[in-house]
Amino acid sequence: MNFLLLQINDSAFPIGSYTQSFGLETYVQKGLITNKDEAYNYLQSLLYTQMLYADLLMIKLVYEAETLESILYLESLMNASTPAKETRLGMQKIGSIFIKTLESMKLDLPLLFKEYIRVCKYPTHPSAYAVFCKTMGIDFKEFLQHYIYAQISNTLTNCVKLIPLSQYDGQAILAKLHTDFMSIYEKIQTLDEDDFCNAVIHNDMQGMLHETLHSRLYMS
């Protein structure tokens, strides 16, 4: 068992994910997500759109990239393809804190990851995570599936708080999504750079509308 992989995907890993909802708070305040069934539909839709074509495809493309320049280019594409300012800054903030936390752990970081840290200007969480796992020699399927579970679990925690839902409902939703996690891994194998960030715009719209909410618990 790779305990380092478990650690960097743990909800207690201090990268500030709990401060971001990435538009979810807007959905809830507008009354678009009000119960456990709507929460499940939202998470399933998120998994097959925004997460698949942005975060997860970024991880795959970084893993397949042969040069650091290619990785930086992918980061620039992801940042340019995220029109909601709060969402874009949120991704960058989590990416930067992810890197700083790894540095604080006094690990024997690979040279390529150190060089990535030195030259990257706007790291995102998916790209920094992928570069780290790749350079540490962690199995692609393993670190991708850990990421899928961790991110959906974090978003579900936000659903439980915002809607609100019971913890029992939250765990039932998560269990129901297990088969989707496997399907997503198979789907990602068929995608390439032409599909990158080819996601629905509705989440971007909610992310932009979040800036004008009267009261907010989250930064995005």
206 vs 115, residue with greater confidence: 115
Q: 79 vs 52, 178, 198, CA distance in Å? A: 16, 29, 14
Q: Does the structure show a pLDDT above 90 at 215?
A: no
Query: Is residue 51 in some structural domain?
Result: yes
CB-count exposure of residue 130 (10 Å: 0-12, 13-18, 19+): buried
Per the structure, the count of domains in the chain is 1
Whole domain around residue 121: which residue ranges? 23-212
The region of weakest confidence among 8-12, 14-18, 57-61, 71-75 is 14-18
Question: 144-203 pLDDT, tens per residue?
Answer: 999 999 999 999 999 999 999 999 999 999 999 999 999 999 999 999 999 998 876 778
Contact yes or no for 99/108 (Cβ under 8 A): no
Residue 13 within any structural domain of the chain: no
Residue 219 has pLDDT above 90, yes or no: no
Q: Tell whether omega for the bond before 164 is within 30 degrees of 0, i.e. cis.
A: yes
Q: Is residue 220 a part of any domain in this protein?
A: no
Is residue 5 a part of any domain in this protein? no
Q: What is the mean pLDDT of residues 93-101?
A: 97
In-domain check, residue 9? no
Task: For residue 61, give the CATH number of its domain.
Answer: 1.10.4190.10
* Pairwise CA distance, residues 137 & 128, whole Å: 14
Query: Does some domain include residue 101?
Result: yes
Please state, as a whole number, how many other Cβ atoms lie within 10 Å of the Cβ of residue 136.
18
Query: For the whole model, what pTM was predicted?
Result: 0.95
Would residue 10 count as lying in a domain? Answer: no
pLDDT for residue 220: 85
**Using an 8 Å Cβ cutoff, are 41 and 157 in contact?**
no
- Beta-carbon contacts of 25 under 8 Å, excluding residues fewer than 6 positions away, are 158, 162, 210, 213, 216, 217, 218
pLDDT at 1 over 70: no
Mean pLDDT on 48-62: 96
> 69 in a domain, yes or no?
yes
Query: What pLDDT digit, counting tens, does each position of 39-54 carry?
Result: 999 999 999 999 999 9
